[in-house]
């Protein structure tokens, strides 16, 4: 159960930012004994993987905060974020040193891949659908604010998933609640602005 929560938390974080949970898992596996990745996933903690992910993360952080450009970034992320979620879910389930390892998931690694893809895909879809509404309702000003909040949530959720997997469920519920509140707030403000414009010119 805890192994699945770890994977779910990391893949959800990947739905917000594909590279943050990847880098965190890579660094933790590289420099600590908390995660010991098996041979087939050892490349994740290699110099080139960490360096490449760091470079891609910088681009993701910058581009995701620019209105219009963030839509293009989300379109690209439609493929990258679910793929990252599937990879990280499967890799952490196969790790030898996680106390919460689940033999069922280890024996059936494809299940972890599928669950990771689905989880990251759902979160990514919510992000991609909400962002245009935020941009439209704030004239683009909200893009960097929301993007920074998403990056922060991705970092926090990644660490929670690794070190405190038992509270991943609560973290995911909190993230869902925040997304719903953001969606409703931005849609309401957009309607209010449209009504104000209509009243002014009407």
What's the pLDDT at 162? 92
| Most distant CA atoms of the chain, gap in Å | 68
Mean pLDDT of 7-18: 94
Question: For 60-84, what is each residue's pLDDT tens digit?
Answer: 999 999 988 998 999 999 999 999 9
pLDDT at 92 over 80: yes
Query: What are the pLDDT digits (tens) for 158-181?
Result: 999 999 988 888 888 887 787 777
Mean pLDDT over the full length of the chain? 85
pLDDT at 173: 84
Which segment, 104-108, 119-123, 182-186, is predicted with the most confidence on average? 119-123
Q: b/e for 25-41, b at 16 or more Cβ within 10 A?
A: bbebbbeeeebebeeeb
Residue 151: predicted pLDDT: 96
Residue 202's pLDDT is 57
Rounded-to-integer distance, Cα 58 and Cα 21, Å: 14
pTM of the model: 0.83
Contacts of 8 (CB under 8 A, 6+ apart): 89, 115, 119, 161, 168, 172
pLDDT of residue 84: 96
For the chain, give the percent of residues with pLDDT over 90: 50
């Amino acid at each position: 159960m805890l192994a699945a929560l770890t994977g779910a938390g990391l893949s959800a974080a990947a739905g917000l930012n594909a590279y943050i949970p990847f880098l965190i898992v890579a660094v933790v596996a590289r420099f600590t004994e908390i995660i010991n990745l098996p041979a087939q996933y050892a490349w994740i903690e290699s110099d080139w993987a960490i360096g490449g992910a760091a470079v891609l993360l910088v681009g993701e952080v910058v581009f995701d905060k620019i209105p219009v450009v963030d839509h293009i970034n989300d379109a690209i992320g439609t493929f990258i974020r679910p793929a990252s979620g599937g990879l990280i879910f499967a890799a952490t389930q196969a790790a030898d040193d996680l106390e919460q390892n689940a033999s069922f998931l280890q024996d059936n690694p494809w299940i972890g891949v599928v669950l990771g893809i689905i989880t990251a895909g759902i979160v990514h879809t919510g992000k991609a659908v909400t962002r245009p509404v935020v941009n439209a309702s704030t004239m683009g000003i909200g893009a960097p604010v929301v993007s920074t909040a998403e990056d922060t949530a991705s970092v926090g959720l990644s660490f929670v998933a690794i070190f405190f997997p038992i509270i991943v469920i609560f973290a995911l519920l909190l993230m869902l609640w925040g997304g719903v509140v953001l969606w409703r707030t931005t849609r309401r403000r957009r309607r209010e602005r449209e009504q104000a414009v209509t009243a002014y010119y009407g």
